[in-house]
Amino acid sequence: MAEPAAEIWARLREATGARIGLGRRGDAPPVAEVLALQLAHARARDAVHRAMDWAAVEAALSPAPLLRVHSAAPDRATYLRRPDLGRRLAPEAAALLSLAERQVVFVLADGLSAAAVEAQAVPLLQACRARLGALVAEPVVLAEQARVALGDEIGEGLGARMVVMLIGERPGLSVAHSLGAYVTHAPRVGRRDSERNCVSNIHPQGGLGTEAAADRIAWLVREGLLRRLTGVALKEDAANSLGGGDGGLLPGAEDGAVR
C-alpha cells in the first residue's frame, strides 16, 4: 500500500526547516502558516534593524580588557545601505589600535543580527578561551556597524597573527539569531574572503551548538597558526575539529554570511 501523502510530507518536514507541504485552504495556504511566515519575516527585520546592547555584552565580559570601535558607517541606516563603509574603521576608531605582537584577537561584531551576538557571542568566546588558553590575546574588540572584513583592519592594527570575528549572520525566515565565526590568518586590509575560514549557522535552534562551534574554531586557529594560512588552502579535518585528534597543536598551546 502506498504511503499516504500526509505522512510523506510529515517525514520530509522533520528533515528541513524549509516551509514545505503546508497544505491549503481553498486556493490559499492555511491562515496559521501565513501568520507564522509573517512573524518570521518580522523577526528577521527586527534582527537586522535593532541596535546592539553593548552595555550587556561589556558587563558579561567584565573585567576582561575591552576595546570599543566603530566602522565608517555612522549609523544603522547607512550601514545597511553602504556595506563598504562597514568594512573599514572610522578614523577615530583606527587611532585607538595599538600595534603589538599578539597571537589571536577576538572581535565581537553586531553584523546583521544583534540578537545572535547578545545571546551567543560571549559563551562562544569563553568556550574558545578554554580551548586556546594563552593564545587568546587582549583586548577583546567590540565592533559596531561591522562587516566581516572590518576584522582585517582591526587585526592588522593590533599586530595579531590571527583574528577571529564572531558576528551576527544575515537572518532568514527560519532563524533570526544565527552567529558566524570568521578566522583569518595574518589579517590586513584587502584580504579576500577566500583567505578566511567560516564556521556558520551557530545557534541552538537546530544549528551548531556552542561547544561544537568552539571545537571547530579552535582547530582552525591552531592549524592556521601552524601552517600560516587560512581560507581555501586550509581544509577542516572533521575528526580533529570534533576532538578526535590533537588537531596540529602548537607546542605549548593549551580551536550563512555577512560580508
Is 198 annotated as ligand-binding? yes
Total number of domains in the chain = 1
Contact 68, 144 (CB under 8 A): yes
Amino acid found at 135:
L
What pLDDT, on the 0 to 100 scale, is given for residue 51?
Answer: 86
Is the pLDDT higher at 37 or at 82?
Answer: 82
Of 158, 147, 85, 90, the C-alpha closest to 113 is 147
Q: Could you give the CA distance from residue 80 to residue 71 in angstroms, rounded to a whole number?
A: 12
Is 118 annotated as ligand-binding? no
Of 160, 3, 201, the C-alpha closest to 67 is 160
Is the predicted pLDDT of residue 62 greater than 50, yes or no?
yes
Q: Per the domain annotation, does 120 fall within a domain? A: yes
Q: Residue 61 sits in a domain of what CATH number?
A: 3.40.50.11240
**pLDDT tens-place string over residues 82-100:** 999 999 999 999 999 999 9
Q: Per the domain annotation, does 10 fall within a domain? A: no
Residue burial 11-43, b: 16+ Cβ < 10 Å; e: rest: eeeeeeeeeeeeeeeeeeeeeeeeeeeeebeeb
Q: Per the domain annotation, does 170 fall within a domain? A: yes
Q: Per the domain annotation, does 41 fall within a domain? A: no
Identity of the highest mean pLDDT range in 11-15, 116-120, 173-177: 116-120
Mean pLDDT of 41-50: 82
Q: Per the domain annotation, does 136 fall within a domain? A: yes
Q: How confident is residue 44, by pLDDT bands cut at 50, 70 and 90?
A: confident
What pLDDT, on the 0 to 100 scale, is given for residue 252?
Answer: 32
State which residues form the domain around 96: 48-241
Q: Per the domain annotation, does 94 fall within a domain? A: yes
Q: Per the domain annotation, does 246 fall within a domain? A: no
Mean pLDDT of 185-192: 96
Is the pLDDT higher at 251 or at 14?
Answer: 14
What pLDDT, on the 0 to 100 scale, is given for residue 239?
Answer: 43
Q: How confident is residue 27, by pLDDT bands cut at 50, 70 and 90?
A: confident
Full-model pTM: 0.83
Q: Per the domain annotation, does 64 fall within a domain? A: yes
